[in-house]
Amino acid sequence: MNKNAVFLYSLLQLKKIRDNFFKELVYASSGKKTSLAFIKNPLPKRSPIGKGETFQVMVIGGSVFEKAQVKKINNKIIILSYKKTTLPIFKTAKALLVFFEKHLERSTKLVVLNFAYGLRPVLRDNLLDGKLISVTKEQQFKDLINKTIGWEIEKYIFQKQKKRIKVSVVNDTITLLLAMRRSSYNYLGAAGVVGTGTNFSFFLDENTAVNLESGNFNKLPKTETGKIIDKNSINPGQQLFEKEVSGAYLYLHYNLRNDGEKIPHFLLSTYQLSSLANDDLRGHREAVAIARKLIERSASLIACQMAGIYLFKKSEAQNSYEKNSKFEIRSTKQIQNSNDKDSKQKSFENLNLENSKNVSSFNTPISDLSFAFIMEGSLFWQGWQYRKRVEDYLNLLGVKKGAIEFIKIKNSSILGASQLIIVNN
């Protein structure tokens, strides 16, 4: 077996990928077109249901389906029932709608659908809904593209059951981000999914969450196996980053090695790839080395996006702090030049009040930003040495050790989706 069948990116290449990702964030935030969708999700300002009412949460991820009956009591989320299972491949929109109806509880009047696909947000009657942008992770319901998912589901359920329900639909990384909204990090953090698919999101401000659709990032050298995987995928030319790093594709890179020898351990999943990397089998040491390189390469690329987000938020926080500091200096000088003692004191009080409104968690002096990523995905949490590799590469990419904390919250997909319902109640 040829050990050179899989290469690791050099540190110079990784730094360039990090810088390219950072630049795309800057350009996208100012409205310029990039490979990042940078979709701004306005968060609802009031709840569509009353206190003590129940609602249902469904999670349609990359390979996992979850559903829960949820109740809000005193502004807290209580999970009454929960079920998790494997998600099938949907070949049409009808297949997805039939699946939804099958799992809809009879008593349910409101469903929050946590959806692992790119959405253009739509506010309907204070419900966050979304138009499908593209189909990824080898799902095939392309006939839903450009349609408002929640509205389509509501129409289908009424047609089949003569029952009117409300359906709120939100991207999975946005719900993951919302799960940390009431943590100690609050708005100074990001959310990431590194499992079957790959994506990141973060808060732009306290009322807006941004879905990057970062799996579509394309400013990186493409691997030979990645080119083949892209060519044979259902969406050639799209999600190029995701096809190099995520669980839906990573094991295919192993199977596609063209070294002139019979491939041992033909793999059916990235879980098997991780198991191979974790078990140094006698007689197959080179196969293990290849598996480990593939996982390390994925982790190094994920670290590039994380480092880019960290640097972007650090720059944003620094700019905001400097802007507010200049405002405070100017205002203080104006007050000091006043001759009226009473008006001076009143002005200082007003200035402090104004600063307390303007200076949020984004506006603190930034030397070493303390930042958190709330993470989901079996590859990130269970892949062979994956998290450690990400941390090592973050350090190489200029993020000080300990500056980033990784958080896992139990039932985050359910709790985050529920935040859209209990808001301000």
DSSP 243-305: HHHSTTTHHHHHHT--SSSPPSS--SSHHHHHHHHH---TT-HHHHHHHHHHHHHHHHHHHHH
pLDDT of 65-81, one tens digit each?
A: 999 999 878 767 889 99
Give the per-residue pLDDT at 1: 43
pLDDT of 112-160, one tens digit each?
A: 999 988 889 998 888 899 999 876 656 667 888 889 999 999 999 999 9
> What are the helix and strand counts (H, E) for the chain?
13, 13
Going by CATH, does the domain composed of 1-34+180-408 fall within 3.40.367.20? yes
Give the per-residue pLDDT at 186: 60
The more confident residue out of 358 and 127 is 127
Sign of CA dihedral 195, 30, 398, 13: positive
What do you get for the CA distance between the two ends of the chain, in Å? 61
The Cα angle at residue 91 between residues 88 and 95, in degrees rounded to 5: 70
Domain 42-172+411-422, CATH among 3.50.50.60, 3.40.50.970, 3.30.420.40, 3.40.50.10360: 3.30.420.40
Q: Report whether pLDDT(221) > 50.
A: yes
Give the per-residue pLDDT at 277: 92
Give the per-residue pLDDT at 184: 60
Looking at residue 186, the DSSP 8-state letter turns out to be T
Give the per-residue pLDDT at 258: 52
188/404 Cα distance (integer angstroms): 11
Q: Where are the domains of the chain?
A: 1-34+180-408, 42-172+411-422
Q: Report whether pLDDT(286) > 50.
A: yes
In the predicted model, what is the mean pLDDT of residues 173-190? 78
pTM metric for this prediction: 0.81
Give the per-residue pLDDT at 235: 87
Kindly report the length of the chain: 425
In the predicted model, what is the mean pLDDT of residues 397-414? 91
55/420 Cα distance (integer angstroms): 12
Q: Are 214 and 241 in contact (CB under 8 A)?
A: yes
* pLDDT-based confidence at residue 343 (cuts at 50, 70, 90): very low
Helix 341-358, helix 285-336: angle, nearest 10:
160
